[in-house]
Amino acid sequence: MAIVFEKSKVLTDVNTHYCPGCTHGIIHRLIAESIEELNLQERTIGVAPVGCAVFAYNYFNCDMQQASHGRAPAVATGIKRALPDSIVFTYQGDGDLASIGTAEIVHAAARGEKITVIFVNNAIYGMTGGQMAPTTLPGQVTTTSPYGRDVAHCGYPVKISEMLSTLDGANYIERVSVNNVKNVNAAKKAIKKAFQYQADGKGFSLIEVLSTCPTNWGVSPVEAIEWLEQNMLPYYPLGVYKDKEGEKV
């Protein structure tokens, strides 16, 4: 029988620990396929965060480093400066990147650090059990905002793509989503472009991927996709926020 689909060789042959219906698995696959299609596997060093993706070093079949919470862009900077010909990416969630790691991500972008950042935004802390994240929506119930996020008390969500796109050092910033086939394909295109830019020696790229967390949102996987569409897409509009190369065209 003809083989019509194979798992990317840039993913290891192990089961992930992700919950059923979580979209981390899709995002992992898009990254692995991009690295494989661009033939970058032997040059790539990935940096895993703290959070749900803490074990990402078990899943990507390339050299990996595990960073402390929020520091992945600094770790990636150290790797890239030591090995300028390598391809370095970070995989970070919203607690890691948009809360404890804001200084590191802002300055990596400002420096135009030649790395690729995959920022997974699911509006909640997953690994620790569903606490409020910097990206938790106004009114959203979490274990530390049990009455719904009260913006008068704890402020507003951080819009990372919008914020970082104001920095001159950032090369390419796009927000994508993996809620349906069309958007998954668009996400793949963006992720692959971000790796291509790095391979071409272009500066800092960040792809923000809107993702679901059925477990901590307390809904089924199908309902989670619907919740993302109804609540996250309006608050976090998809699109290209910055593309220096695209601007030149």
Bridge pairing between strands 170-177 and 239-243: antiparallel
Measured from the CB atom, is 22 or 45 closer to other proteins? 45
In contact, 161 and 105? CB cutoff 8 Å? no
Neighbours of 218 (CB within 10 A): 13
Residue 164 engages other proteins in binding (rule: CB under 8 A) = no
Instruction: Report yes or no: 70 and 101 within 8 Å, Cβ to Cβ.
Output: yes
By rule CB under 8 A, what string of x and - marks binding of each residue 9-48 to other proteins?
--------------------------------xxxxx-x-
Q: What is the DSSP letter of 219?
A: S
| Residue closer to other proteins (CB basis): 22 or 76 | 76
Say how far apart CA 75 and CA 89 lie, in whole Å: 10
Cα distance between residue 198 and residue 216, in whole Å: 34
* Minimum distance, C-beta of residue 68 to other proteins, in the bound complex (Å): 5
Q: Which of 7, 9, 14, 83 binds other proteins (CB under 8 A)?
A: 83
Cα Rg of the chain, angstroms: 17
Site for other proteins (CB under 8 A): which residue of 16, 26, 65, 148?
65
168 binds other proteins (CB under 8 A): no
Residues at the contact surface with other proteins, assessed by CB under 8 A:
41-45, 47, 54-55, 57, 61-68, 71, 74-83, 86, 103-104, 106-107
